[in-house]
């Protein structure tokens, strides 16, 4: 009986170690020259990372542990004002609920999206998406993983080159660049209605501007072939306002 108990305890210890080793560490780094308020949204009932949102000063970093199988997104909120109780709102990427998000970031906002594998050998899927528009530069760099493990990101400041009809003005100038879908709300730009399938929804003059500036980021809904990245057993550095 004692031997069986020891074997069970040993098995639980091994399973515990495997679970810990297959969890991914997200290191969020603020390389912008101003404070941002990262927001997180979890899908499929997954654990909420970082309480849903927090402040990150210039040069600041924070580490968040995502469990195996985690799915969700991370983005930056800018121009936020919160009181001592955490109530308030943001100029871009606002998500309701004050400093701790209760929903996704309001467009326009640059996003990083993840679906992690269920164990260390399974593939993680990740991307940087401009489908909901752009507010800050964003990059994802995997480390310690196996497979393709590509860098995904948008280094170019799209606010500076945003077409006038997509610009969102705020304090100090353009604070975000809308997607064409948000600006015009037509099936052609939103990949809806008669344009709801990959063969009927093609790149537009606006998505091509985004793609030319940020080749490894999603520029429109069906931009999968050049924008979805995979890696197995990695940790990830998520940089806001990357320089390379």
- In the DSSP assignment, the letter for residue 53 is B
Q: How many CB atoms lie within 10 A of CB 14?
A: 10
DSSP assignment of 62-119, as one string?
A: EEEEEPTT-EEEEEEEBS-EE-TTS-EE-SBS--SSTTS-SSPPPSS--EEEEE--SS
Spell out the domains of the chain, with CATH numbers in brackets. 23-156+216-240 (2.60.110.10)
| Kind plus residue range of the DSSP H or E element containing 3 | helix 2-22
Worst-scoring range by mean pLDDT, 88-102, 131-145, 213-227? 213-227
Residue where the block lists tokens 């390389």: 31
Residue where the block lists tokens 């326009």: 108
Residue where the block lists tokens 């489908």: 131
User: 144 near 235, Cβ under 8 Å?
Assistant: yes
Q: What are the strands of the beta sheet with 235-240, ordered from one edge?
A: 61-66, 24-30, 235-240, 138-143, 152-154
pLDDT in tens, 34-61: 999 999 999 978 889 999 999 999 999 9
Q: How far apart are CA 243 and CA 32, in angstroms?
A: 10
Helix (H/G/I), strand (E/B), else coil: 187: helix
Q: How far is CA 136 from the centre of its chain?
A: 11
Extract the tokens encoding 120.
Answer: 């260390």
User: 174 near 198, Cβ under 8 Å?
Assistant: no
pLDDT in tens, 202-213: 999 999 999 999
pLDDT (mean) for 114-130: 93
Question: Residues 138-141: contacts with CB within 8 Å, 24+ apart?
Answer: 138/75, 138/76, 138/110, 138/111, 138/112, 138/217, 138/238, 138/239, 138/240, 138/242, 139/237, 139/238, 139/239, 139/242, 140/112, 140/229, 140/236, 140/237, 140/238, 140/239, 141/236, 141/237, 141/239
pLDDT at 168: 97
Helix (H/G/I), strand (E/B), else coil: 242: coil
pLDDT in tens, 17-31: 344 456 899 999 999
pTM, rounded to two decimals:
0.89
| Kind plus residue range of the DSSP H or E element containing 206 | helix 205-213
> Which residues, in sequence order, are bridge partners of residue 24?
66
């Amino acid at each position: 009986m004692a031997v069986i108990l020891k074997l069970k305890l040993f098995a639980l210890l091994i399973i515990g170690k495997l679970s810990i080793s297959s969890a991914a560490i997200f290191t969020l780094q603020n390389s912008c020259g101003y404070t941002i308020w990262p927001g997180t949204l979890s899908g499929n009932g997954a654990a909420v990372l970082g309480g849903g949102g927090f402040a990150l000063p210039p040069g600041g970093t924070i580490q968040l542990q995502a469990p195996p199988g985690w799915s969700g997104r991370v983005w930056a909120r800018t121009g936020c004002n919160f009181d001592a109780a955490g109530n308030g709102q943001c100029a871009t990427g606002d998500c309701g609920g004050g400093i701790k998000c209760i929903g996704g970031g309001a467009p326009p906002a640059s996003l990083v999206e993840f679906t992690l594998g269920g164990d260390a050998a399974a593939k993680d899927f990740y991307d940087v998406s401009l489908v909901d528009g752009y507010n800050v530069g964003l990059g994802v760099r995997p480390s310690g993983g196996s497979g393709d493990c590509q860098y995904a990101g948008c280094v170019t400041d799209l606010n500076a080159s945003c077409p006038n009809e997509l610009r969102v003005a705020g304090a100090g100038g353009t604070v975000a660049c809308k997607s064409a879908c948000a600006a015009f709300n037509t099936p052609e730009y939103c990949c809806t209605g008669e344009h709801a399938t990959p063969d009927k929804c093609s790149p537009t003059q606006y998505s091509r501007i985004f793609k030319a500036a940020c080749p490894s980021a999603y520029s429109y809904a069906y931009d999968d072939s050049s924008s979805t990245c995979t890696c197995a057993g990695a940790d990830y550095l998520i940089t806001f306002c990357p320089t390379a």
